[in-house]
């Protein structure tokens, strides 16, 4: 009975096995660069159908191509490298790159991708949270922001032009004020969302989507018969057609409906 129930849960109505979405790997705190000796927490969140809930859910952890011994939902790590996770029956998650530094100053960026219109936050951090003075942020070698002491640099609405290599510099009192120190450069990419054409209204195109052609000839001497005017018996000028061309639709045409008295399809 249990076998039949679980089989029905994993088989779709079309007769094909249901595929699971890949789990979501998150990093806490959300910075991809840490100091040597620090630890961060990786958490693997995935969807588990009833079949997988019947037994204890195990999570597989990968550091590069190495399988880690832990099977918990979250782990603490301090080794640099590329981390991934996988739950039973699901694909492998997207990777998280963790860097470990032994410098006095590091520039931290979030692990999640940044898209256009979203805020971009950069954090210049001194060795084990020492205060950084005379703090400068650089974008592709150009200074973009100055702070008297430790502060994050935030771009409220990031654009594609904000992509590039960032760096920070500053001084620290250890115990006297040091000479200016520089962090390693970090590459940041602001991703562009694909543009999608807005859908047309459900009741056909709007008036501004109509393009009216005057006549078969585009000569300026031809009168504009598309406007309502008293009928004229005068012949059209040479090169002009007396037949008026119907407006041309730039969008989708309106739906046709059948007239009961002539059984013809008309708009």
Domains of the chain plus CATH, in order, are 21-102 (2.60.40.10), 103-194 (2.60.40.10)
Predicted confidence (pLDDT) at residue 9 exceeds the cutoff of 60: no
pTM exceeds 0.75 for this model: no
Span 45-55, mean pLDDT?
Answer: 59
Residue-level pLDDT at 88 = 79
- Is the model's pLDDT at 89 over the cut of 70? yes
Virtual CA dihedral for 61, 63, 66, 67, nearest 10 degrees? -10
Average pLDDT, the chain: 77
Give pLDDT tens digits for 103-155: 999 999 999 999 999 999 999 999 989 999 999 999 999 999 999 999 999 99
Residue 176's pLDDT band (cuts 50, 70, 90): confident
Look at strands 248-249 and 120-126 and give their pairing: unpaired
Residue 95 CA to residue 198 CA, distance in Å, equals 33
């Amino acid at each position: 009975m249990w076998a039949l129930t679980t089989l029905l849960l994993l088989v779709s109505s079309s007769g094909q096995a249901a595929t699971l979405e890949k789990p979501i790997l998150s990093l806490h705190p959300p910075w991809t660069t840490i100091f040597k000796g620090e630890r961060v927490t990786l958490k693997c969140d995935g969807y588990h159908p009833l079949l997988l809930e019947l037994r204890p859910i195990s999570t597989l952890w990968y550091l590069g191509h190495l399988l880690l011994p832990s099977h918990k939902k979250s782990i603490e790590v301090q080794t640099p490298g590329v981390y991934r996770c996988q739950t039973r029956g699901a694909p492998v998650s997207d990777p998280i790159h963790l860097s470990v530094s032994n410098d006095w100053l590091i520039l931290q960026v979030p692990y999640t991708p940044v898209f256009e219109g979203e805020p971009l936050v950069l954090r210049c951090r001194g060795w084990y949270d020492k205060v950084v003075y005379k703090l400068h942020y650089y974008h592709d070698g150009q200074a973009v922001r100055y702070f008297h002491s430790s502060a994050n640099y935030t771009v409220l609405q990031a654009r594609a032009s904000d992509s590039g290599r960032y760096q920070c510099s500053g001084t620290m009192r250890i115990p006297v004020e040091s000479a200016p120190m520089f962090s390693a450069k970090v590459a940041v990419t602001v991703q562009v969302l694909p543009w999608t054409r807005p859908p047309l209204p459900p009741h056909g195109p709007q008036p501004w989507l109509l393009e009216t052609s005057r006549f078969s000839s585009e000569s300026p001497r031809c009168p504009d018969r598309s406007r309502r005017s008293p009928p004229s018996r005068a012949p059209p000028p040479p090169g002009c057609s007396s037949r008026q061309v119907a407006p041309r639709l730039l969008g989708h045409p309106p739906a046709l409906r059948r007239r009961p008295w002539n059984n013809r399809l008309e708009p």
